[in-house]
Structure 1
Amino acid sequence: MLLTGGLKSLLPQARRIIHCKRVRISNISGMAKVPGYTQARVVLLHKSLADDFEKFCHANSGALPLLYRSKPGEWKCTSLSSNSDTRTDHLQYRKYEYGAFTGSLESLNDYAEQLKDMVAFYLGCCSFNFEKVLQAAGIPERNTEQKRNVSVYKTAVPCYSISTFCCNLLVTMRPVPESKLEAAVLATSALKETQGAPVHMGNPGLLGIQDLSKPDYGDPVRLHPGDIPVFWACSVTGIEAVINCRSPLAFTHSFGCTFITDLKNDKFTLRSSREVPQVHCISQDPLHYSMVSTEAAKKIKTLEGLIGIDPGNRGIAHLLHPGELLKACLSLSHARSVLITTGFPTHFNYEPPEENDGPPGALAIAAMLQALEKDVAIVTDQRAMDLNKKIIEEAVQIGILKEPVPLLSYQRESADSALTFLCESGNPRRPRFDHLIAIERAGMAADGNYYNARKVNIKHLVDPIDELFLTAQTIPGITTTGVGDGGNELGMGKVKDAVKKHIKNGDVIACDVAADFAVVAGVSNWGGYAIACALYILSTCEIHDCYLRRAVGFSQLPKKTVWLSALPSVTKEEKLLKALVQLGVRSGASASLEMEVDALPFYNIHSDMIEKLLQEVQH
């Protein structure tokens, strides 16, 4: 039973009640959470394992915030409580021998001799400490409403291993109304000595959790209509590590019987308020939300504004959807494998017919994805394979790419060709790519043809790569982004109504194939540069970094220098454009073999845009 009556006012004297064992209590969540006293999970290990376990806690501090480590045989913890004795301060203990649970105990007094060589670890616990801040933020406590313990699940996310301590992350789950997601993040991210902000919001399958009705610890908690499952790293992770360590003897508290400290939750040190978190939905199937700091989001919004100018006076202002760049890049940041396509053969009377808007932007994206250690490949027309191979080789020599990007082609051979291309053995549960990007790629119009800006049908020069984007819409877990500057590019189907209304020849040329996100730019290459810059900003955002790695392991920020070197630069893009001129790749609007893109000179137009984007990144 939960002790929720008059004993609430007796904390921390509640420990004395536990010592005397005069009241029958099954757990202490009701005793502590209303007054707001901090609770901690306790692990007791032989001193020979203590150093490694402490390193394990520091290596996975998001799940295992270490409040205190005792000396061998020390049972007082004066920094957390004035009258504590960890041998008797728990309602119930669990005993483990060589990793196996061998019994529950009401105290550890019978193990006085063994305890002389054991060390106690006190780990910050979110399970009950969060309730006060969530309640203050107006977020309903579904587990309390249902008179249940918080649900705890094992995930498929591996912790950073130290010696014999290794396990997957464990998480608590709380249902949160969708309208309250950001409030829940803001409320909990401020708590430093507990697990802080969520590590996942949305579909539990993305954590490897198959059934929310079957928690590994605690009780199942029902979601109400409109609730989103939100997951926080859990210090029960430490117990799993102890089990996997197979120590000859170890003790922990039982679930729900945490250590009550004298500290009030509102006495906790707050995290830096310099970066305030935002929440954004990046996928509906599966449902997935991501986090970013307000500072980083503001920078990416500025990038979007910079590339949204219209030097060709095409009317692209009507196509702009604010926020698309941020959401596209948040999704890319979570992706493991990305497929990029580009190529617009607008110059059908020349060989090669490709224009030079598209490939530079595609390579800028690929370079940053390589630096972020993601798998990346490029798919293009079969007839243009040799040309693209040469372009990739030049990009490596120039220093844009650190290594060649795999080059693929796609042909429709059967009704299942696209599915087979995108998924292992054609199984939609095993996609090869998490994200598809089309940048300045000829897109199919409503009549099945492909048109350049002058309404000339160039279908004979275009392979049906659109089918990959159409099929991706039916495969959970694959997100798509289209980058364009005129509305006839693959992915711009998302804004086709505006294209038909505001773009010259739009009623004919508008691409009919939509992407999940449409990044519109005055020149498509600029969209590619902006994506590369936005990915850098996200990677250097502490809030996003922690969320991305599920708060386990170490920050990726030390790789900042590598990411910085992968950004586009005026020098690299100048060299690439010269190489494209040598390969006969022409300017889009003018068909000239000069240092220009879309009839806009590289110097003072494109070079200035690159510098402005870089200035915002480094601001």
Structure 2
Amino acid sequence: MVPFSLLLRSRLPSAIRRLPKGAPIRNTAIMAEGLQPASVVVLPRALAPAFESFCQANRGPLPMLGQSEPEKVLPRLSAVPDRRTICPQFQKYEFGICTGILASLEEYSEQLKDMVTFIMDCSFSIDEALEQAGMPRRDPAGPSHAGAYKTTVPCATIAGFCCPLVVTMRPIPKDKLERLLQAAHSIGGQKGHLVHVGDPELLGIKELSKPDYGNYVECRPEDVPVFWPSQLTSLEAAVSCKAPLAFASTPGCTVKILTDTVSPANCPTPGVVPEVHAISKDPLHYSIVSAAAVQKIRGLESAIAIDPGSRGIGYLLHKDELLRAALSLSHARSVLVTTGFPTHFNHEPPEETDGPPGAIALAAFLQALGKETSMVVDQRALSLHTKLVEEAVKQGVLTTPIPILTYQGGSVEDAQAFLCKDGDPKSPRFDHLVAIERAGRAADGSYYNARKMNIKHLVDPIDDLFLAAQKIPGISSTGVGDGGNELGMGKVKKAVKKFIRNGDVIACDVEADFAVIAGRKNAGHPGAEPSPEWSLRHCGHGSRWAAFLRCSR
């Protein structure tokens, strides 16, 4: 899963409209009778700048409409139901502990003089999106609101404000995911963005049936859990600062704030149509991407699969493997890259020249995204790749050196110990393995080049790591190749044996989750081996990360 700070930068607006301090709350969307649903956090004035910065750093779960002096907004929020209020209750906190539930704050008028009210946007309605998508609403059992969960995804920490992301969940039939996604986008724009689709454990949620707030909404066998950011994140943030006195809206209750303007952030982003794609079955995981980005990646997939040597690699191509690999990598926090295919036996070292620069370029891009990146290579090629990394740092392609590892093989337990902390499959060190033009093990246990020459004596058993990863939930893998004898091409071995010369002997038997077929050079620059600097300069945008994977012999 992508780090939440990156998620915010990639999916959410670049700025949230703020109101001048002390000004009456004026919100951001046209609502019935000029009223906008919101939640309230009241903090000591001394903490206001830090909380404002905290909201700006975590815009997704904390869309702040503005701040105001308490007397300009709170007197409207009394215990008497009227058209300006919905469940107008507050929780009182002292040093981070809830010490009471209040119908109004009138008795704290003196303390409120030295406090600031923050108004958090609650205008996006999941139930409204469900209705627009033509799906019946499923009310949780009892009078409470739908469940919300504390995750293990941390919000960005500012001063004393440090808390996890809180999410709310709705079960959605698998065949209606696309419809719901588009409905949420159409009515909520940026605010309609969800944060996760699939296995709740990827968010650190152990049991859906036990929400931290509200009541569980039952998942049926055909359903997929879908998660949105919850305004209750602001409650967790208010608790985290342990202020001597603070107030917040009661979970499940909102207030209505007078509005008279329209916020562009409340409208769908022009030209952006979201799509949802499955990228993993175990654990179940879907990813969201714009339709425009999908078309660009599909175009790239077609371009890199051009077969200049007429070797028959077009028969190996599976549609959208590049798309799914790119989406899976976008969610990874730690990536292990491997490369190395010895063929030039009169050279020292005998490596091909296209895999290593492609691996360095991919590592540079992942590093630029803030992802932990390591490489694992053959022991005999350790010096070569160490020098490549040193040169990449010297030239500014890599900001800092990346670890270069080796793996000599052994048992299944050894491979698991390499991939996981203390050998525990529940604590993988890496989320994604990528093999770029790496020699792959054939069915007889040997490694072959295109001419059927056995090169096993030059290849370390790094394939064992890919085999072990298949049994460790949470680790996905990608193999990039052009001849069918590369690591990961076991996914297309039937086609390799049928259509590739010598395929019955050389076909790799080890699968990757995604098999990317690439007949072009590392960075799509025909006729030349690009330098790492060229690769980084021309492949530095997120929608084109896969250009790093264009490798061939």
Q: Does the TM-score normalized on the shorter chain lie above 0.5? A: yes
Matched, 1:280 2:284: no
- Which of the residues 359, 363, 380 maps onto 2:360? 363
Inter-partner Cα distance in structure 1 for 2:68 and 2:458 = 72
Inter-partner Cα distance in structure 1 for 2:66 and 2:390 = 55
8 Å CA contact 2:278–2:286 kept in 1: the answer is yes
Inter-partner Cα distance in structure 2 for 1:148 and 1:417 = 50
Residue equivalent to 2:178: 182
- Comparing 435-444 with 383-392, greater Cα deviation is found at 383-392
Q: How many residues align?
A: 510
Residue equivalent to 1:234: 230
Q: Deviations over 1:240-261 (max 9, x none)?
A: 2222222222222322232145
Secondary structure, in 3 states, of the residue corresponding to 1:416? helix
In the TM superposition, 1:156-305 aligns within 5 A as 156-191=152-187, 195-260=191-256, 269-305=266-302
Residue equivalent to 1:64: 62
Amino acid at match of 1:204: P
Q: CA shift at 1:172, angstroms? A: 0.8
Residue equivalent to 2:134: 138
Q: Deviations over 1:403-441 (max 9, x none)?
A: 433222211233422112111221111212111111111
Inter-partner Cα distance in structure 2 for 1:339 and 1:451 = 24
Q: Deviations over 1:74-120 (max 9, x none)?
A: 13799xxxx9898x864433222222211222333333433444433
Amino acid at match of 1:252: A
In the TM superposition, 1:287-326 aligns within 5 A as 287-326=284-323
Secondary structure, in 3 states, of the residue corresponding to 1:206? helix
Change (3 A) 1:259 1:61: same
* Greater than 6 Å deviation, 4+ residue runs: 33-37, 83-86, 262-268, 527-535
Q: Aligned Cα RMSD in Å?
A: 3.5
Matched, 1:345 2:342: yes
Residue equivalent to 1:514: 511
- Which of the residues 538, 543, 556 maps onto 2:542? 538
Amino acid at match of 1:382: Q
Amino acid at match of 1:496: K
Amino acid at match of 1:381: D
Residue equivalent to 2:4: none
Q: Where does the alignment leave 5 or more consecutive residues of structure 1 unmatched?
A: 1-32, 541-562, 574-587, 589-596, 599-619
Amino acid at match of 2:327: L
Change (3 A) 1:280 1:266: farther
In the TM superposition, 1:443-482 aligns within 5 A as 443-482=440-479
Inter-partner Cα distance in structure 2 for 1:362 and 1:59 = 33
Inter-partner Cα distance in structure 1 for 2:86 and 2:410 = 70
8 Å CA contact 1:46–1:117 kept in 2: the answer is yes
Inter-partner Cα distance in structure 2 for 1:391 and 1:401 = 10
Residue equivalent to 1:390: 387
8 Å CA contact 2:122–2:231 kept in 1: the answer is yes
Matched, 1:425 2:429: no
Quote the sequence identity (%).
Answer: 55
Q: Deviations over 1:437-490 (max 9, x none)?
A: 111111111121211111122222211111111111011111111000111111
Q: CA shift at 1:391, angstroms? A: 3.6
8 Å CA contact 1:150–1:173 kept in 2: the answer is yes
Q: CA shift at 1:37, angstroms? A: 7.5
Residue equivalent to 2:12: none
TM-score normalised by L of structure 1: 0.74
Amino acid at match of 2:217: V
- Comparing 267-276 with 158-167, greater Cα deviation is found at 267-276
- Which of the residues 37, 47, 52 maps onto 1:49? 47
Amino acid at match of 1:466: D
8 Å CA contact 1:38–1:265 kept in 2: the answer is no
Q: CA shift at 1:491, angstroms? A: 0.3
Matched, 1:377 2:381: no
- Which of the residues 463, 483, 486 maps onto 1:486? 483
Q: CA shift at 1:215, angstroms? A: 0.9
TM-score normalised by L of structure 2: 0.83
8 Å CA contact 1:38–1:264 kept in 2: the answer is no
Change (3 A) 1:35 1:313: farther
Q: CA shift at 1:359, angstroms? A: 1.4
Inter-partner Cα distance in structure 2 for 1:180 and 1:160 = 33
Amino acid at match of 2:269: S
Change (3 A) 1:403 1:51: closer
Q: Where does the alignment leave 5 or more consecutive residues of structure 2 unmatched?
A: 1-30
